[in-house]
């Protein structure tokens, strides 16, 4: 089974059936992260259609200003969600620094809940890698997936030291920086993602589809002088390791252990 640890299935609209078909036929376990409340509700409906899809609730840093003054309204959804994501900080694409305090406040609300409820988190760290590391340490988040990391190598190593896992995605086929990062991540912390459907669209103007995860695995194998088979096995084992004692993901563990 392949692992897509970060995708936005709620954004597929008319292509959703084709996407779910590919998830089933290519056997891609997929974490469907949310951007905001409507996005999570849509992901829940999609999760009902396919047991390979795990919907998780988060507020994306770009949506943080809309939610910062009504965080208590989110607590029920956070409690219901088996993991947290997408959450994080974006000090790179979001140029308006007056939004950063809202991003921080929302992220800290989720991290405190993740800590309290012992949940895995799926993180966006763009341009704020150091701050994310500080917050993970502060909130003692032991199970973190850092999505599409593109920051400095010293912070990458510090995050590895801390215990974080990293998803490498479609950009590994297009960027030397990402290829260097894909080489640097230790064997036992490597995961894969597509950030579908937008990831490939952002890079190539083409709609990202679930089977693109196979190209990601191939490209990682190339970078790490390994085989696609080995990388796929390693990622699968790593994901199982990450959720090993997760009280919320017993069903996921059973599903992945069968494959």
Interface contacts to Zn ion, rule CB under 5 A: 86, 195
Contacts of 50 (CB under 8 A, 6+ apart): 20, 23, 24
Nearer to Zn ion, 4 or 86 (CB): 86
Q: How far is the CB of 170 from Zn ion (least distance, A)?
A: 12
> Distance between alpha carbon 3 and the CA centroid of its chain, in Å?
11
Q: Rounded distance, CA 114 to CA 122, Å?
A: 11
Integer angstrom CA distances of residue 131 from 36, 55, 62, 100: 22, 26, 17, 12
Q: Rounded distance, CA 5 to CA 83, Å?
A: 12
Q: How far is the CB of 43 from Zn ion (least distance, A)?
A: 12
Q: How far is the CB of 35 from Zn ion (least distance, A)?
A: 8
What are the residue ranges of helices labelled H in 81-163? 100-117, 129-139, 153-162
Nearer to Zn ion, 7 or 221 (CB): 7
Q: Rounded distance, CA 149 to CA 135, Å?
A: 16
Nearer to Zn ion, 10 or 86 (CB): 86
Report residue 30 as tokens.
């997929």
Nearer to Zn ion, 4 or 195 (CB): 195
Nearer to Zn ion, 9 or 256 (CB): 9
Q: How far is the CB of 199 from Zn ion (least distance, A)?
A: 8
Report residue 23 as tokens.
């998830």
Q: How far is the CB of 8 from Zn ion (least distance, A)?
A: 6
């Amino acid at each position: 089974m392949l692992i897509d640890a970060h995708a936005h299935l709620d954004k597929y609209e008319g292509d959703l059936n084709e996407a779910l078909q590919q998830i089933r036929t290519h056997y891609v376990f997929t974490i469907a992260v949310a951007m905001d409340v409507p996005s999570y509700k849509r992901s829940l409906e999609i999760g009902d259609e396919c047991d390979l899809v795990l919907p998780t609730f988060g507020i994306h840093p770009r949506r943080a200003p809309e939610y910062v003054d009504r965080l208590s309204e989110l607590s029920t959804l956070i409690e219901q969600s088996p993991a947290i994501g997408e959450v994080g900080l974006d000090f790179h694409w979001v140029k308006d620094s007056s939004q950063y305090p809202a991003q921080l406040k929302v992220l800290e609300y989720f991290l405190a809940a993740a800590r309290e409820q012992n949940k895995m988190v799926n993180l966006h760290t763009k341009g704020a890698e150091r701050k994310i590391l500080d917050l993970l340490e502060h909130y003692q988040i032991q199970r973190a997936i850092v999505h599409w990391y593109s920051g400095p190598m010293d912070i990458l190593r510090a995050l590895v030291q801390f215990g974080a896992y990293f998803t490498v995605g479609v950009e590994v086929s297009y960027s030397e920086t990402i290829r260097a990062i894909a080489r640097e991540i230790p064997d036992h912390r490597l995961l894969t993602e597509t950030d579908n459907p937008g990831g490939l669209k952002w890079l190539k103007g083409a709609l990202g589809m679930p089977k693109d995860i196979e190209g990601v695995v191939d490209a990682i194998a190339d970078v790490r002088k390994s085989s696609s088979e080995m990388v796929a096995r390693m990622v699968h084992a790593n994901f199982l390791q990450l959720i090993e004692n997760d009280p919320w993901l017993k069903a996921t563990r059973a599903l992945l252990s069968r494959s």
